[in-house]
């Protein structure tokens, strides 16, 4: 039996238990749990299911389909982000290009595995093209603010997120769909655990120290430390899912945790600035996808690049495998 498969089944069972528990709690009358918090937790559990299904697709269906799903998420996250920021009519054409040309092309390049294109096209070309197009319309009011906001939204929602499905295009030593799905599962699991572990610290610390009290009081130094050590531990244990040695997996898991917590903190700051609580409450009736994927967006590029560097080392060592490093 493949380790990744066993782990996958394990995650399935855990998710099933969590879903069952929340369903029972929801149907319980006169329960002492705050229903609002329960709802919030349920939406989180649902997003875990969605991510889990992504991994299953990567395994049994095609890589292309997973890339398409991430592309759709990117598109939706981007529209939430742009709805939030104030744009002017002169930005209209630039925004059209971003939504209907830039987003699809980025994911098509990922699908074609053109690393040289998708890793540089946005920073070296689109970031410069946006100000040009906007300047052409001659509206200079808040010009610098507008181009910065649009560029940042593109960076977070499209460029960074596209590295998550790009994990499936890496050339692994054992080139099977199970190995690829394992790498994606490892990454998604670590990002979600880095949110779950700080949540558990609330039980141990009565008076935690928030990192930035006026941004988000639930992001604490204790939570960050606990999250990083927790993901280091789980990352080392889950190492057989990836082709890398255990120490490397532990360290990259820690890096993922750091970036993921930083990502949710950053998006909280953006929300505070614009005066909304959730991207979901931005327009009535929309579930905020950006609330769910903020950690994935920030952690994806760094995990992709570390994996790529490790794989290059592996190739330079003559394909003897990472076992030689012990």
Partner 1 sequence: MPEAVPESEQTQNPKPEKEAPSPIPPHRCFAIDAVVGRAIFSGLSRFLSGATSSWYSQPDTCQRVYFANHTSHLDMLVIWSAMPDYVRKVVRPVAAKDYWGSGFFRPYIAKRLFNCILLERQNVKVHNNPVDEMLRQMGSQYSIIIFPEGGRQSSGEMAEFKSGLYYMCKKRPELELIPIYIDNMNRILPRGTYLPVPLLSHVTFGNPLWLEKNEKKQDFLDRARQAILDLKKKSK
Measured from the CB atom, the residue of 87 and 266 that comes closer to partner 1 is 87
- Cβ–Cβ < 8 Å for 65, 260: no
Binding mask 284-323 for partner 1 (x = CB under 8 A): xxx-------------------------------------
Q: How far is the CB of 268 from partner 1 (least distance, A)?
A: 20
Q: Can you tell me whether residue 318 is helix, strand or coil?
A: coil
Binding mask 193-232 for partner 1 (x = CB under 8 A): ----------------------------------------
Measured from the CB atom, the residue of 275 and 318 that comes closer to partner 1 is 275
Measured from the CB atom, the residue of 79 and 292 that comes closer to partner 1 is 79
Q: How far is the CB of 132 from partner 1 (least distance, A)?
A: 17
Q: How far is the CB of 97 from partner 1 (least distance, A)?
A: 9
- How many Cβ atoms from other residues are within 10 Å of residue 89's Cβ? 8
Between residue 268 and residue 287, which ones bind partner 1 under the rule CB under 8 A? 282-286
- How many Cβ atoms from other residues are within 10 Å of residue 134's Cβ? 23
Between residue 99 and residue 158, which ones bind partner 1 under the rule CB under 8 A? 99
Measured from the CB atom, the residue of 99 and 233 that comes closer to partner 1 is 99
Q: How far is the CB of 87 from partner 1 (least distance, A)?
A: 7
Spatial separation of the C-alpha atoms in residues 164 and 181, rounded to whole Å: 12
DSSP assignment of 169-182 equals GS--SS--HHHHHH
Residues 6+ apart with CB under 8 A from 294: 263, 264, 266, 267
DSSP at 217: E
Spatial separation of the C-alpha atoms in residues 120 and 128, rounded to whole Å: 12
Measured from the CB atom, the residue of 89 and 206 that comes closer to partner 1 is 89
Q: How far is the CB of 101 from partner 1 (least distance, A)?
A: 11
Which residue is associated with the tokens 């490892």? 186
Please list, residue by residue across 249-280, b when 16 or more beta carbons sit within 10 angstroms of its beta carbon and e when fewer do.
bbbbbbbbbbbbbbbbbbbbebbeeeeeeebb
Measured from the CB atom, the residue of 88 and 209 that comes closer to partner 1 is 88
Measured from the CB atom, the residue of 80 and 294 that comes closer to partner 1 is 80
Q: How far is the CB of 272 from partner 1 (least distance, A)?
A: 17
Q: Enumerate helices (H) and strands (E) in the chain, giving the number of each.
A: 14, 2
- Cβ–Cβ < 8 Å for 42, 21: no
For partner 1 (CB under 8 A), the number of binding residues is 17
Spatial separation of the C-alpha atoms in residues 224 and 227, rounded to whole Å: 5
Measured from the CB atom, the residue of 193 and 290 that comes closer to partner 1 is 290
Binding mask 70-99 for partner 1 (x = CB under 8 A): -----x---xx-xx---x-x--xx-xx--x
Spatial separation of the C-alpha atoms in residues 85 and 17, rounded to whole Å: 39
Q: How far is the CB of 263 from partner 1 (least distance, A)?
A: 22
Q: How far is the CB of 273 from partner 1 (least distance, A)?
A: 17
- Secondary structure of the chain: what % helix, strand, coil (to 5)? 75, 0, 20
> Which among 126, 77, 141, 40 has a CA at the least distance from the CA of 295?
77
Spatial separation of the C-alpha atoms in residues 286 and 13, rounded to whole Å: 29
Q: How far is the CB of 196 from partner 1 (least distance, A)?
A: 29
Measured from the CB atom, the residue of 257 and 293 that comes closer to partner 1 is 293
Which residues in this chain contact partner 1 in the complex, by CB under 8 A?
A: 75, 79-80, 82-83, 87, 89, 92-93, 95-96, 99, 282-286
């Amino acid at each position: 039996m493949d380790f990744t498969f066993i782990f996958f089944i394990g995650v399935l069972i855990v998710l099933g238990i969590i879903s069952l528990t929340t369903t029972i709690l929801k149907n319980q009358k006169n329960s002492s749990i705050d229903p609002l918090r329960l709802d919030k937790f349920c939406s989180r559990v649902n997003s875990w299911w969605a991510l889990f299904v992504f991994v299953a697709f990567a395994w049994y269906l095609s890589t292309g389909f997973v890339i398409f799903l991430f592309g759709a998420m990117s598109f939706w996250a981007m529209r939430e982000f742009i709805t939030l920021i104030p744009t002017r009519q002169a930005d209209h054409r630039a925004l059209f290009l971003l939504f209907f040309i830039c987003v699809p092309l980025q994911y098509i390049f990922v699908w074609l595995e053109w690393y040289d294109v998708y890793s540089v096209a946005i920073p070296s070309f689109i970031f410069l093209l946006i100000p040009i197009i906007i300047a052409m319309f001659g509206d200079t009011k808040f010009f610098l603010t507008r181009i910065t906001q649009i560029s940042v939204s593109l960076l977070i929602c499209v460029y960074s997120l596209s590295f998550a499905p790009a994990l499936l295009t890496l050339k692994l030593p054992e080139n099977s769909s199970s190995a690829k799905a394992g790498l994606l599962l490892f990454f998604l699991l670590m990002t979600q655990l880095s949110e779950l572990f700080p949540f558990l610290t609330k039980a141990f610390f009565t008076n935690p120290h928030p990192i930035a009290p006026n941004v988000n009081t639930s992001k604490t130094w204790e939570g960050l430390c606990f999250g990083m050590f927790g993901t280091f531990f789980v990352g080392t244990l889950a190492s057989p899912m990836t082709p890398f040695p255990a120490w490397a997996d532990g360290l990259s898991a820690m890096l993922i945790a750091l970036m993921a917590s930083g990502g949710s903190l950053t998006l909280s700051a953006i929300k505070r600035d614009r005066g909304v609580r959730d991207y979901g409450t931005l327009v009535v009736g929309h579930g905020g996808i950006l609330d769910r994927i903020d950690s994935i967006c920030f952690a994806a590029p760094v995990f992709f690049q570390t994996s790529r560097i490790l794989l290059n080392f592996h190739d330079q060592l003559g394909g003897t495998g990472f076992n030689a490093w012990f």
